[in-house]
């Protein structure tokens, strides 16, 4: 099959790789219909991780179930599914307590809990920027979607972007009408151009939403307060 592989800093390529196959009874093979390029992929592409050469990237995937292992009973061949980016086993202590992103079983790297598709340190699972994807513990991990191909661009947000943002908003206790600040770490030199491009796109979204970044335009005492906060605790207050 064709898959997108990491070849080194600022270099990826679509190459032929072996088709994934059922390796464990709880596995499923998904035919990918949509996969996203995540901002997190830039950390690997721009050389801020130790991702191994030839890794197949892609952790935001959806598709149709092509094949299931003998131990899979909830998910059926032909199901249209979203594939959440983190991989849990469903039965370890952390998964049972709802912390499946820190599954104790799915990452064989010593001292690292939690696994994901196509990502540095979250190995050994290839990603879904490919024609097919192997999904471990398919009954636990896959989210069934309505059949057909409607709302593909909406459903593709379910694998990471939408639930990650929603979960973050819930953890922060954000409510409608709250004034909030989004903070991000400034990237180092080599990443300058993509970050500036992303910044321009975000500026357009901000304009349409009527918001503006801290420190932009006229003097903003709240922005000053955030920027000069050493502990970051000021950012948690509501203004």
Using CB under 5 A, pick the residue from 44, 72, 75, 95 that binds Zn ion. Answer: 95
Q: What minimum distance in Å lies between the beta carbon of 137 and Zn ion?
A: 8
> Counting Cβ atoms within 10 Å, is residue 110 exposed (0-12), middle (13-18) or buried (19+)?
exposed
Rounded to the nearest 5°, which phi and psi values hold at 107? -110, 115
Residue 88 lies near Zn ion (rule: CB under 5 A): yes
Specify the pairing of strand 28-35 against strand 61-68. Answer: antiparallel
Kindly tell me which of 65 and 89 has the beta carbon lying closer to Zn ion.
Answer: 89
* Pick from 41, 34, 56: nearest CA to 10: 41
Beta carbon nearer to Zn ion, 87 or 226 = 87
- What does the DSSP 8-state code read for residue 221? H
Dist. CA 150–CA 132, nearest whole Å:
21
Q: Min. distance of Cβ 237 from Zn ion in angstroms?
A: 29
Query: 236: which DSSP letter?
Result: G
- The footprint of Zn ion on residues 176-235 (CB under 5 A) is none
Binding track over 136-155 against Zn ion, x by CB under 5 A: --------------------
Residue nearest to Zn ion (CB): 38
Length of the chain: 239
Out of 56, 89, 115, 226, the residue judged to bind Zn ion by CB under 5 A: 89
Choices 18-26, 99-107, 138-146, 182-190 (CB under 5 A): range interacting with Zn ion: 99-107
User: CB-wise, 43 or 225, nearer to Zn ion?
Assistant: 43
Residues 156-185 contacting Zn ion, CB under 5 A: 160
By C-alpha distance, which of 134, 132, 119, 133 is closest to 55? 119
Site string for Zn ion, 22-51 (x = CB under 5 A): ----------------x-x-----------
Q: Is 208 exposed, middle or buried (0-12, 13-18, 19+ CB in 10 A)?
A: exposed
Residue from 1, 42, 92, 157 touching Zn ion (CB under 5 A): that is: 92
CA distance 55 to 8: 10
Site for Zn ion in 105-124 (CB under 5 A): 105
Sites of contact with Zn ion (CB under 5 A):
38, 40, 60, 88-89, 92, 95, 103, 105, 160
């Amino acid at each position: 099959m064709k898959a997108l592989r990491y070849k080194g800093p600022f270099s990826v390529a679509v190459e032929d790789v072996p088709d994934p196959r059922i390796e464990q009874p709880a596995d499923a093979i998904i035919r990918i219909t949509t996969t996203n390029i995540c901002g997190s992929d830039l950390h690997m592409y721009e050389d801020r991780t130790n991702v191994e050469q030839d890794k197949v990237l892609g952790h935001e995937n959806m598709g149709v179930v092509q094949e299931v292992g003998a131990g899979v009973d909830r998910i059926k061949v032909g199901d249209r599914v979203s594939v959440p980016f983190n991989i849990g086993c469903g039965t370890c202590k952390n998964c049972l307590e709802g912390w499946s992103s820190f599954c104790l079983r799915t990452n064989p790297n010593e001292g690292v809990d939690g696994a994901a598709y196509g990502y540095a340190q979250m190995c050994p699972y290839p990603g879904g920027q490919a024609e097919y994807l192997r999904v471990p513990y398919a009954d636990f991990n896959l989210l069934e979607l309505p059949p057909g191909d409607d709302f593909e661009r909406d459903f593709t947000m379910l694998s990471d972007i939408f639930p990650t943002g929603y979960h973050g908003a819930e953890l922060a206790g954000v409510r409608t009408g709250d004034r909030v600040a989004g903070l991000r770490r400034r990237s180092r030199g080599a990443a300058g151009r993509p970050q500036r491009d992303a910044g321009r796109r975000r500026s357009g979204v901000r304009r349409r939403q009527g918001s503006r970044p801290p420190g932009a335009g006229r003097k903003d005492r709240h922005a000053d307060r955030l920027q000069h906060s050493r502990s970051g605790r000021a950012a948690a207050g509501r203004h």
